[in-house]
Structure 1
Amino acid sequence: MADQSTPEASPEDIPSQKSPGRPSARRSPKGAAAKRSSTSTPEDTDSGTAFHRSVISRRRLLGTAGATGLALGAAGGAAGYAAAPSDKALPLTSLGTERVMFHGKHQSGITDAVQARGHLAAFDLAAGAGRTEAAALLRRWSATAERLMAGEAAPHDDTDVARDAGPSALTITFGFGNSFFSRTGLEKQRPSALDPLPDFSSDRLDKSRSNGDLWVQIGADDALVAFHALRALQKDAGSAARLRWQMNGFNRSPGATAHPMTARNLMGQIDGTHNPKPTDADFDQRIFVPASGDPAWMANGSYAVVRRIRMLLDDWEKLSLQAQEAVIGRRKDTGAPLSGGTETTEMDLEKSAADGSPVVPLNAHARITRPDQNGGAAMLRRAFSFHDGFDPDGTPDAGLLFICWQADPLRGFVPVQRKLDRGDALSQYIRHEASGLFAVPGGAAQGEYMGQRLLEG
């Protein structure tokens, strides 16, 4: 959790993998598939985040409601939609049609806008399973991911959970943990950047919910589409791998605000202001392994650090607004630095208050996480919030599924977390409860399955 996490929308142009969705008729009202197209368009905002997601305007939403009002009023909600005359089937809204491509230079779910619903899962290869079984599993997973991301049914035994839905910006991302390489006899192909993360004094890690041989990240703007993908991949694992841990997350739904803006976390803070932007000259250098990188199978890939960070909300909410802002170093309402300006104004670390103390406290979270305070270290944060109920005493089990991307975690996550570990004012209000580090290879080319260059190289 840092000043640069969880982007929701932005004006920046990014390498796009999106194209008009063409879901199969099996997953949509008859005739609708041919009419679907992506309506995402860049638009200018004052947000400093790195991504943009198109939103349905209030006028457009009302227009859609007016067009379908009679059918919905007569039959009620989704039932009215499904019962629309087949020769005049209603198209999906733009929220459902947005499609992210499976094949590409990079895997999906890294530079794509963060979605409303997310699932993270780690699998361990079953006893006796090795390289052959792993390759067969990645082939199955890749075939399933390609179809689901296109809005189509799973290749076999589809559960119909997402029937009638479009792609809904579904992304599925695959990664390999440190232990995968010894399990498959590929130790020589294990990247040095995948060495275990160091211990941090503030960690309270549950090993049963950390690491794993294989990692899957799922994101979608529809909860049923996301769950459908999770269930399909779990079924595909079959006897080759068993589920090690699984976590569920969420974000604000696209279009829920009057204009695109940076997301808020469960502490109510704007979270993601200074995320690296694809327009930055050194963005690729910081986030992706170069095409000439070592090992070769990681070309155009990235490394994901995953942390389950519990927020101690009862303690946090006892603080006054002024105290909360001092912990973060930013205003809660606008996200502007305490030194003045707007959300995207550069923080003035030298500005002093009347008593001579720094306006932005020395231990403020936003001050400590700045790249210029960490030797230029930067990560691309793309997180989900989580809420897994309440403890017996009523304490909420809630917080952040922190996911950050970098070309090398030893130059990205590790130096920043070490500094946070030594004196971040936020530390007493959060607890790191699970952790994982995964090598995420570049995207699969047409005709390839994810990880093929490693498993067949």
Structure 2
Amino acid sequence: MADQTTPRASRESVPSQQGRGRRPAEGAEDAGSVPDAPTAAEADRSAPAAGISRRRLLGTAGATGLALGAVGGATGYATAPSEKATTPLASLGADRAMFHGKHQAGITDALQSRGHVVAFDLASGAGRKEAAALLRRWSATAERLMAGEGAPHDDTDVARDAGPSSLTITFGFGNSFFSRTGLQKQRPAALDPLPAFSSDRLDASRSNGDLWVQIGANDALVAFHALRAIQKDAGSAARIRWQMNGFNRSPGATVRPMTARNLMGQVDGTNNPKPDDADFDRRIFVAAEGEPAWMANGSYAVVRRIRMLLDDWEKLALPAQEEVIGRRKSTGAPLSGGTETTAMDLEKAGRDGKLVVPLNAHARITRPDQNGGAAMLRRPFSYHDGIAADGTPDAGLLFICWQADPLRGFVPVQRKLDRGDALSQYIRHEASGLFAVPGGAAKGEYVGQRLLEG
């Protein structure tokens, strides 16, 4: 897990003008609405006359008590809201990422609180023609859902009346896609399989794939709705190879926004490249004149499911955990002093003469200046898949990083980590994938069109 900071959203937030899937109510205009409660004046006018007998009063009270009991029996369940009682979307729901653009959404956008990553394999007999039709369907669906609208067809209404909620849907191609579609000559050299690492314990059934989709949103139902729409759009053209679900801290959940924390409790992502860095585009995106031409303004995503051995990690005392990482757990500041963004002093020694940042500390090893300038944009999700058969939590990090060339980004850093990272005994790489993610689609285009119709 490299030591780099997640950037703020670089896409414009656009308020949604209409909730997704909003349709006129069927039947009468007020059907299903709850009548407004009577005002105090109306209640007074309908009250019984003075002099009512005690028997009648008790009888009335009993009937009222039964009625209240019927309502009270539903305590904890929300009553159906009136169609008239609507409130504007909060910014959390109204924020919108744009589908069309130079780059695909979901790369430089801020971390979202919910995410799904899913890989597909083309069905037997499906080729270039079927793949093009599928990407056309997926792009149409992504454009509508990211705008806060319903799916183009067969909508499930799961996210009915929700705003866009910063939804992003990102598409990529795996190495095997090109042989399946007869496009071997268009396969980028950068998409060659990743080398094996000694720490790998990879499950082939949960690795790689012909096609890859990343979904992120700040609302769980919006993210799930997008996942279902993408799965249904695949139809008979492709089948799911694997799917993983993740999460991050919700926007606004902390009064002091900072770099994300992972399930080890560590600040995770310090020193990420930032979009305003002079060399950001060169490091993260394929140049407009790059090769192959269809990858112009695209990027390469490395996806790793990294299991955290939390039972072992949590046995370590706080100082030991901080020495493994090389940073303070509370603030993310380097052990050499300062704040999270203070440059790490690799030569600083303590009173005992030992380096305060150990030679095998994760943060030391992953520094770009310790890896020939290798850099990648980390944009991960945490995951928790319940309790494993051995009684330990099946939890960790869905590590997703972006770079213009994985051989100059992910690979050199992971090779160095493989040779002596103190963190390696507390994590396990269980799945892996590498995907070519083309640039964004222009108006009237679908993602991958320049590859599939070039």
Q: Under a length normalisation based on structure 2, what TM-score does the superposition of the two structures give?
A: 0.87
Q: Kindly provide the CA deviation profile for residues 238-261 of structure 1, in whole angstroms up to 9, marking residues without a partner as x.
A: 000000000000000000000321
One-letter amino acid matched to 1:438: F
For 1:413 and 1:159, locate their aligned partners in 2 and report how far apart those are by CA, in whole Å. 38
Consecutive unaligned residues of structure 2, counting only runs of 5 or more, are 26-71
* Counterpart-to-counterpart distance in 1, 2:239 and 2:183: 20
CA distance in 2, matches of 1:271, 1:175: 25
Asked if 2 retains the 8 angstrom alpha-carbon contact of 1:29 and 1:90, the reply is: no
**3-state DSSP of counterpart to 2:96:** strand
Structure 1 residue 355: Cα displacement:
1.8
Aligned counterpart in structure 1 of residue 325 of structure 2, from 311, 323, 328: 328
Residues 28 and 165, structure 1, Cα contact 8 Å, conserved in 2: no
Partner of 1:355: 352
Once the two structures are TM-superposed, the CA of residue 233 in structure 1 deviates from its matched residue by 0.4
Of 93, 104, 107 in structure 1, the residue corresponding to residue 104 of structure 2 is: 107
Equivalent in 15, 19, 24 of residue 20 of structure 1: 15
- Specify the alignment match of 1:56 in structure 2: none
Q: Residue 83 of structure 1 corresponds to which residue in structure 2? A: 81
CA distance in 1: counterparts of 2:278 and 2:346, whole angstroms: 24
Shift of 1:76: 8.3
Q: Once the 2 structures are TM-superposed, how far is the Cα of residue 21 of structure 1 from its aligned partner?
A: 2.0
Deviates more, 1:370-379 or 1:158-167: 158-167
Please give the per-residue CA displacement for 1:75-119, whole angstroms capped at 9, x wherever unaligned. Answer: 989946x62443x63111111001101000000000000100000
Q: Which residue in the other structure is 2:395 paired with?
A: 398
Tell me the residue number matched to 2:198. 201
Give how far 1:191 is off: 0.4
CA drift of 1:24 comes to: 4.6
Q: Deviation at 1:16?
A: 2.1
Q: Distance in 2 between matches of 1:271 and 1:355?
A: 29
- Say which of 236, 240, 259 aligns to 2:256: 259
C-alpha displacement of 1:157: 0.5
Task: Tell me which residue corresponds to 2:429.
Answer: 432
Letter in 2 for 1:355: D
| SS of the residue 2:419 aligns to | helix
- Work out the CA distance in 2 between the residues paired with 1:366 and 1:29: 55
Cα distance between partner residues in 2 of 1:197 and 1:365:
21
Aligned residue among 123, 133, 136 for 2:133:
136
Tell me which residue corresponds to 1:34. Answer: none
C-alpha separation in 2, matches of 1:2 and 1:345: 17
The residue matched to 1:323 in structure 2 has which SS?
A: helix
**Paired residue for 1:183?**
180
2:20/2:150 contact within 8 Å kept:
no
Aligned to 2:369, the other structure's residue is in SS state helix
Hey, what's the Cα distance between the residues in 2 that align with 1:28 and 1:247?
32
Distance 1:22 1:77, change over 3 A: farther
Q: Deviations over 1:35-91 (max 9, x none)?
A: xxxxxxxxxxxxxxxxxxxxxxxxxxxxxxxxxxxxxx9x989946x62443x6311
Name the SS for the 1:26 alignment partner: coil
Distance 2:22 2:374 in 1: 44
Q: Which amino acid aligns with 1:190?
A: R
Q: Per-residue CA shift, 1:247-282, capped at 9, x if unaligned?
A: 000000000000321111000001111111011110
The amino acid across from 2:437 in the alignment is V
TM-aligned CA deviation for residue 19 of structure 1 = 2.5
Q: Give secondary structure in 2 for the equivalent of 1:23.
A: coil
Q: Which residue of 2 aligns with 1:366?
A: 363
Aligned partner of 1:23: which letter?
Q
Distance 1:17 1:452 in 2: 25
The residue aligned with 2:32 is none
- What's the secondary structure of 1:19's corresponding residue? coil
- Give the C-alpha shift of residue 20 in structure 1: 2.7
Q: What amino acid does structure 1 have at the position aligned with 2:376?
A: M
CA deviation vs aligned residue, 1:368-407 (integer Å, no higher than 9, x gap): 0000000000000000000000012320000000000000
1:153-232 paired onto structure 2 within 5 Å: 153-232=150-229
Q: What is the distance in 2 between the residues matched to 1:248 and 1:429?
A: 22
Over 4 Å off, 4+ runs: 75-80
Contact (CA 8 Å) 1:28, 1:163: kept in 2 or not? no
Q: Do residues 283 (structure 1) and 280 (structure 2) align?
A: yes
TM-score, structure 1 normalization: 0.86
Secondary structure of 1:348's counterpart equals coil
Q: CA deviation at 1:29?
A: 10
Structure 2 distance, partners of 1:426, 1:321, is: 14
Q: Distance in 2 between matches of 1:15 and 1:299?
A: 19
Quick one: which of 106, 116, 121 aligns to 1:119? 116
Aligned counterpart, 2:33: none
Supply the AA of the counterpart residue of 1:19: V
SS in structure 2 opposite 1:357?
Answer: coil
Distance 1:269 1:445 in 2: 39
Q: Which 5+ residue runs of structure 1 have no aligned equivalent?
A: 31-72
Helix, strand or coil at the partner of 1:385: strand
Distance 2:391 2:438 in 1: 41
> Which residue does 1:295 correspond to in 2?
292
Per-residue CA deviations over 1:152-198 (Å, capped at 9, x if unaligned) read: 10000000111121111000000000000000000000000000000
Distance 1:109 1:76, change over 3 A: farther
Q: Is the 8 A contact 2:166 2:218 kept in 1?
A: yes
Distance 1:406 1:77 in 2: 48
Q: For the Cα contact (< 8 Å) 1:444–1:450, is it kept in 2? A: yes
Query: Residue type matched to 1:421 in 2?
Result: D
Measure, in 1, the Cα distance between the counterparts of 2:252 and 2:75: 23
SS in 2 for 1:20: coil
